[in-house]
A and B are shown apart, each in its own frame.
Chain A
Amino acid sequence: MTEGSGFPLTCPLPGGEGDVIELAHGGGGLLMHRLIDRVFRPAFATSPSDLVHDGAVLDIGGARFAFTTDSYVVRPLFFPGGDIGSLAVNGTVNDLAMCGAHPLFLSAGFILEEGLPIEQLHKVVASMRAAAGAAGVKLVTGDTKVVEHGKGDGLYVNTAGIGSLRSGIAPAPQQVRPGDAVLLNGDIGRHGIAVLAAREGLGLEGEIASDTAPLAATIMELIDAGIDLHCLRDPTRGGLATTLVEIAEAAQVDIHIDESALAISEPVRGACEILGLDPLYVANEGRFVVFVPSNAAERALSILCRAEQGAGAAVIGQVESSKSPSVVLHGLIGAARVLDMLSGEQFPRIC
């Protein structure tokens, strides 16, 4: 495969310590993007626009499909608001939805660790079934592997999904235009904090539940209403800030965000204040940003506010032309700051 394959497999990652994979390579931030840019894209992409979105859009015999895959390694397996099963279904359903597709079929691959109580597997599978029912998709094929005790975290799940796309629907970061309005469908930071609190036993007052939810039906309402969707994206790993930076760079625009328009629940704000985390970089599993022409913003907002997963929707910012693409957060006390991608993992502060 290396001989004459036409791409440099030897390209090293940057950094003095970059000779092995670190956890931060999976954190959704800068290191992961470099890994994709320097290892995966040279190997797999056939055009510069490949591998930049949550899923691939395929033309098969004149019909358009979206195709995506995602692996789930969350620990603990069960957390307030969800579990690895519902997450694996919703996550892949949402990746299809972000392509503007109507999700149809999923596959599920299970990597089980020797010693996992079957009863836990039952619970996860039941949760997947319920989530698939709620999202209107069918789980049609799967695979199971078992690894030795100590070589897996109980249970990993991979799901892949396929969905149908109407003609003319092609939301993508490159479609974002100066003047577009940016809408977000609710409060941010709940999934990341819920999982962190459950994993680390933080004993926070008042339970914070993950926002994991299927988003396809809500997005279909926007499509059915004929809203011109320039771009859809769910801010999962790396949070809202990282997602916006990715879009700004792909579209070569400035995105201006109004901090006062961002909803963050009191418990999430409290947890972030205590831990020194920035909610803009905390993962979400039931949120999406949508870029629409400014004259469609009001109508899109009123549709979202009535939709199942849009009760807390708001216009959070707008797009401007730029010579050097940036995301600028206009803060509560008047100062503006540039948002960058998360570098490595977000760690709680010391004091």
Chain B
Amino acid sequence: MKYIDEFRDAALVRRYAQSIARITTRPWTMMEICGGQTHSIVRYGIDQLLPPGVSLLHGPGCPVCVTPAESIDMAIAIASEAGVILCSFGDMLRVPGSGGSLLAAKARGADVRMVYSPLDALRIARETPSREVLFFAIGFETTAPATAMAVAQAARDGIENFSLLVSHVLVPPAIEALLTAPDNQVQGFLAAGHVCTVMGYREYEPIARRYRVPIVVTGFEPLDLLQGIYLCLRQLEEGRAEVENQYSRSVRRDGNRTAQELMRRIFTVQRQRWRGIGEIAASGLGLTAEYARYDARVRFGHTKTATEPPTECIAGMILRGLRKPHDCPAFGTRCTPERPLGATMVSSEGACAAYYRYRCHMADNGRVVSR
């Protein structure tokens, strides 16, 4: 398959791994931002191809993992009201809030529907004018333009039985929060290719300069990741700290200006709580005053904020790159995808789910140890 097979070529993978080993003279720690990259790394064993001492930390780029429990609780509360249809992405439905998940609410009778796009939710609103249709809008800059499009179309067409629970988050403030944390270990970043397809990478340039940290915009296939790691290591070894673009088949420096313009029109940047991490200034998106009537928090009057219940889950440490899933005493025992303690074990982009799925029964040498 074009754009897939050539990026999974075993011979080229080996050659890149050798090149990486050749240029590496000492230990380095990098972080891949995106959960999709984490899954590729773990699935294909990319981290096992790296020289000793070079390690990859798994970043916060898992949309449902960082969606605060209180937003999920609010979604469940609204979905449980009579006449409401709640729509969201499939992955969001099984993540537990402080109580259950949206799937559990669905099993108890709430009308919860999985959609592929916010525009599907808008279509449902159009087709069922007697019901309130709520879209639980989550994700990074990748999914935010589609949410913005749904709001713009609802306003244009006067669809008033449509509202949104917006919990979109932004990558650059999260990178800065990680870099300014006293316990930061990250020396270089692989930025998320899909996010940069929308946003470009101009906004990463001041971060690279200010914190003296290389940032490589990277794709998702095995060769993309190895090339991104190679570029990042080369910068580290040479003492450079720049933004480089590995994912040039998709990403331009300016990104998709049409999408950015739409986002600016619909959203305003605001403080945002990240599950397991805490509040980060200017790291979330909310609806601007002009579109506030589509805000489900306003429409349904749910403004209550809950605190996250104490748990032995270390997802917050994992999302900040301070721990790996294997470090958690509950991993694979008290915490499994069927019975998760944290969102990172449920989401298809969560680091714990990736380790559980691909690594649970493997020792570090790749041998199967147990089931």
Contact = CB atoms under 8 A, between A and B. Distances in A.
Interface of A: 14-17, 20-24, 30-31, 200, 202, 254, 266, 269-270, 273, 275-276, 324-326, 328, 331-338, 340, 343-345, 347-351
Contacts of B13: 333-334
Given A347-B91, A347-B348, A350-B64, 9 more contacts: A16-B96, A30-B338, A273-B4, A275-B116, A328-B368, A333-B222, A334-B13, A348-B89, A350-B138
Given A326-B361, A333-B10, A351-B139, A22 B349 contact: no
B8 interface: yes
Nearest to A249: B371
* Top 8 closest pairs, chain A to chain B, by CB: A347-B90, A335-B45, A351-B142, A343-B337, A17-B104, A338-B361, A22-B107, A15-B339
Interface in B93-128: 93-94, 96, 100-101, 103-104, 106-108, 114, 116
Contact of A17 (B101, B116, B142): B101
Interface string B130-167: 00000000111011000000000000000000000000
Given A14-B338, A21-B107, A337-B362, A332 B89 contact: no
A16 B368 contact: no
A350 B64 CA distance: 9
12 contacts: A17-B100, A20-B104, A23-B107, A269-B1, A270-B1, A331-B44, A335-B43, A338-B358, A343-B338, A347-B348, A350-B92, A351-B36
B142 A273 contact: no
Nearest to A343: B337
Contacts of A350: 63-64, 89, 91-92, 138-139, 142-143, 349
Interface residues of B, number: 54
Contact of B91 (A254, A324, A349): A349
Contacts of A23: 103, 106-107
A350 B370 CA distance: 32
Interface in B315-361: 336-339, 348-349, 357-361
Contacts, number: 125
B48 interface: yes
Given A348-B90, A350-B143, A333 B107 contact: no
A273 B220 CA distance: 11
Contact of B140 (A15, A269, A351): A351
B339 A349 contact: no
Given A344-B94, A351-B139, A273 B10 contact: no
Contacts of B338: 14-15, 30-31, 343-344
A107 B357 CA distance: 40
B100 A16 contact: yes
Main SS class of interface, B? mixed
B44 A335 contact: yes
A22 B14 CA distance: 44
B274 to A, nearest CB: 16
Nearest to A17: B104
Contact of A335 (B48, B93, B348): B48
Given A22-B104, A350-B349, A337 B371 contact: no
B339 A14 contact: yes
B181 interface: no
A334 B337 contact: no
A200 B119 CA distance: 13
B371 A344 contact: no
A344 B114 contact: no
Interface in B184-229: 194, 222
Nearest to B42: A337
Nearest to B198: A351
A30 B44 CA distance: 24
A119 B9 CA distance: 52
Contact of B357 (A30, A334, A340, A348): A340
Interface in B36-55: 36, 43-45, 48
A76 to B, nearest CB: 16
Contacts of A343: 336-338
A31 B339 CA distance: 11
Contacts of B96: 16-17
A349 B140 CA distance: 13
B46 to A, nearest CB: 8
Contacts of B116: 200, 202, 275, 348
A349 B349 contact: yes
A347 B350 CA distance: 13
Nearest to A200: B116
Contacts of A31: 338
B4 A22 contact: no
Contacts of A16: 96, 100, 339
A333 B8 contact: yes
Contacts of A202: 116
